[in-house]
Structure 1
């Protein structure tokens, strides 16, 4: 499970990850969709060694999208990635997790000493 912040209240959202090696089938995707719903996860990523079948992709697509309130963008609710794709640089489609912070105001050494003495 990966958590990320993506709403005005900073409530953590869940991204579930499931990894399967061989003999994956459409039922595995259907079961994972059920797990995502039961765990109230925003997103799910199914990682497999084998190329997904057309039926598996169709099942994943039928799970819909997650809408990011912070970024006003839709992300596939369930993504299927192969090990080969990940090794080739594929990434999980999800809201950015980097936070931007307000830059601190610069202060000279003299100003710091003056504030300390006051």
Structure 2
């Protein structure tokens, strides 16, 4: 049976295959302990099914966004078996500041965009949706939605900078946050922030999260060094349902751009 638009496993991508199909293919062509290779692993259907069928597997893709989606799917599918995630090795992502700078300083615009994706997805533990609308983002590189305890979800927006930064960047992000009707904004920077930048961010105030019973800075400045060396991550409650809804909307927007 092919996937309907309402299937629980549907992530919103038109090329996504049903798990039942991959289960039949993998079961018929391999045995437990064999290695399954998917060189275009996309939504992660093949690797998720291979893991469930007790196969070893190798998944390859060219963007951090795709790998993040695969990791998120595995985390949600095997959340009751932490050994699954601990046994996964990821190659090709920045693991130190030197590698992060090398990616950020690529001359090719497409490759530099991968630095932005990596920073946003790393900080959100793969829970954000990347803004793919070239030239129309007005400074917004990613969006995530989080639970507040009310009937609706709140939005947090992300901006990534790899070059020189200053107080004006925070002032602009404040305007972007208000325009996007976001509850919070995160400024991810390769360079350390200046004292005026920190003061500008603090002046915006705090967001009171009733569900968590705590306050968050409305604008948070996070350095890439904190991402790598301190493993600093976004600390707000986000459910799989919120993520799927955001991903499906983003996928639909991208398709409408192509159709237009």
* TM-score interval, normalised by the smaller of the two chains: 0.7 to 0.9
User: Partner residue of 1:17?
Assistant: 158
Gapped runs of 5+ residues in structure 2?
1-142, 241-260
Shift of 1:72: 1.8
Measure, in 1, the Cα distance between the counterparts of 2:187 and 2:223. 8
Q: Which structure shows the bigger proportion of residues in strand conformation?
A: 1
SS in structure 1 of the partner of residue 164 of structure 2: coil
Q: How big is the alpha-carbon RMSD for the aligned residues of Structure 1 and Structure 2?
A: 1.4
Measure, in 1, the Cα distance between the counterparts of 2:221 and 2:179. 19
Provide the TM-score with structure 2 as the length reference. Answer: 0.36
Structure 1 runs of 4+ off > 6 angstroms? none
Q: Which structure shows the bigger proportion of residues in helix conformation?
A: 2
Aligned 8 A contact 2:208 2:215 in 1? yes
Write the deviation string for residues 52-75 of structure 1: whole angstroms up to 9, x where unpaired.
Answer: 000000000011001112122111
Measure, in 1, the Cα distance between the counterparts of 2:146 and 2:212. 13
User: Partner residue of 1:104?
Assistant: none
Measure, in 2, the Cα distance between the counterparts of 1:98 and 1:79. 21
User: Partner residue of 1:36?
Assistant: 177
Q: 1:1-118 alignment to 2 at 5 Å?
A: 1-9=143-151, 11-88=152-229, 89-92=231-234, 94-98=235-239
Aligned 8 A contact 2:146 2:239 in 1? no
Provide the TM-score with structure 1 as the length reference. Answer: 0.76
Q: Which has the higher contact order (CA 8 A, sep 6+)?
A: 1
Larger-Rg structure:
1
SS in structure 1 of the partner of residue 192 of structure 2: coil
Measure, in 1, the Cα distance between the counterparts of 2:196 and 2:212. 31
Q: Number of aligned residue pairs: give it.
A: 97
Gapped runs of 5+ residues in structure 1?
100-118
